[in-house]
Structure 1
Amino acid sequence: MTKSQITNSRVYIAQIPEGVAPNKSHFRTVTTTEDKPELEEGSVFVKNLLFSLDPYIRHEFAEGAKETEVIGFGFSKVLESKNPEFHVGSSYFFGALPWSSYSVLRPQDLTEHFNIDSIDKEIPLSAYSGVLGASGLTVWDSLRRVADLKKGETIYISSAAGTLGQLAGQLAKRKGLRVIGSAGTDEKVAYLKNKLGFDAAFNYKTQDKREALAAAVGPQGLDIYYDLVFDNTVEIALDLFNPHGRVVTVGLLAGHKGEGLALPKNIVHLLLKQIRWEGYTVFEHFDEFETFWKEVTPLVKSGEIKYTETVVDGSAENIVETYLRFLKGAYQGKVSLKLGEF
């Protein structure tokens, strides 16, 4: 009997020189027709349906390797399974996936994957790759675990029109903070102020960042910098901080775009103003998903938490082009690539 076959596209990435933004030459997409795989015990064979496009895609090179498969977050549907926790016909599950049309996930690949059959079907699945996904959990957990929000304080959010920035601003407003954001287009700035209720916002591409932020902060001073970029903005924030300010560094957008990561020249303010600077990554806190969903899902469903997203219809062959456009700020809100029908 002839084995059934699939057409599978896989995306590989070459090593990127330090200080260089990812570009088309760093990626290679390979499409092959192949037999459906034989699964080892504990593995699953999945069709990938939607990829979350985030700056922090993984490309971990083994010693001597010149390229490797790209790993990002996404949604899949189980086609075959030899793992009792993931059943054929399960609606969807979420986790780290290679950028490909189909994937075989081994037991060691499945340690941070989640069945999400219990998600609210009235909310688009794409929201679970953004405001209700790892991005949303990152914001919710970092604000409560690190930022120590206090009513009446002032928080500044860089890259505020993105998935994380939008939610951070709204959650801070709900806690009674004064919220300032920056974005890269006038349209995004207007969205922050008029739709999300930011108290102030400015275009960091057309305005002097120091002057604009100082004017927005005013005499009240700055208490929290929610840093999604890790560029020289930290230096500006340190000058504007009140005593006991907090820098919460969550993203490295500047680094992902090939820009330099700047160490502030006035870092002495950490001591003089007793400022706390702490980094946060979500990967150690996936056990908080259920608590996060319980609190935030009703707010998203009711419209109290607003979000924008761009869902691009395509295939595995379109991932690289869409990802590079995303890094250049071509889309607003959370960006996902939809490979198939949900």
Structure 2
Amino acid sequence: MRILVTGGAGYIGSHTCVALLKAGHSVVVVDNLSNSNREVVDAIEKITESEVAFFKMDVTDELAMRNLFSEYTFDGVIHFAGYKAVGESVEKPLMYYHNNLVSTMVLTKLCLEHGVNRFVFSSSATVYGDNKIPYDESLPLLETTNPYGETKAMSERILTDTAKANPNFSVTLLRYFNPIGAHESGLIGENPNGIPNNLMPYITKVAIGELPILNVFGDDYDTIDGTGVRDYIHVVDLADGHVKALEKSQKGTRIYNLGTGKGTSVLELVEAFERINGVKIPKKISPRRSGDIATSYANADKAARDLGWEAKYTVEDMVRDSWRFAEMRLRLR
């Protein structure tokens, strides 16, 4: 199949492109490079020994996207393109609502017009709000705690309603948890522009000396050590989940959690990074961030049952691969 991957030069998108190409599919990548680099596409091609059609384009630009759909025939779409920082979404809600919702609507409209009936959406565990743990797909969604999560929940509703109105349209909503790690080659990984919003790239930037100290946001949560607990999943596992979801898509809407089912605190993750990699991470406790919750982890039984997917990598694998990627970037400077 030929798959359009929006945000395909980003962290999760690039690993999914690798997984798609390894599975025998072809990919067309659209990315505006606002939080990624063109070199990532070259790395995808090097890893897979395959060609990738790349277009620097914003998915909210309907005219540009319409021209792309006229040029290529797609068998499916995986939609990653979107802003993704919880804290930033609280500070800049209009930017998040415009970008994340308009991009979803533009893609959905063009899929219907061109008969592209497989749509896999990059959703998030944030749609559950501060809900019952572990998060299960059958849970009623509570009010989200931040605009980022709300854009994911609203996009889910847009796609679900579209599938109801168009019986041939297949939508798979993948609610995933906290991806970390990198490809074993060390050629692609999480390397955001500017100050990272996610924990692992913050840790690695401290480890290589780009940042002086790790801020741990809050140590007074009701958790094992007072710091936030999350379900960390290796990005390669996550990418494989997208391929399986695409290949096993069915008419209507399907929802799957992609996680390990295990919670790890911030301090536990830092300790694992230090222990496995032999690197000390200086840190300080800072106030909680607006929009964060205490604990989040998945019940991923449905993905195992329906898709034949389950996470294989451990936290130790995740921190080892993250550090390998950071070290390779440091050596290439």
Q: Give 1 or 2: higher strand fraction.
A: 1
TM-score when normalising by structure 2: 0.28
* Higher Rg of the two aligned structures: 1
TM-score when normalising by structure 1: 0.28
Q: Give 1 or 2: higher helix fraction.
A: 2
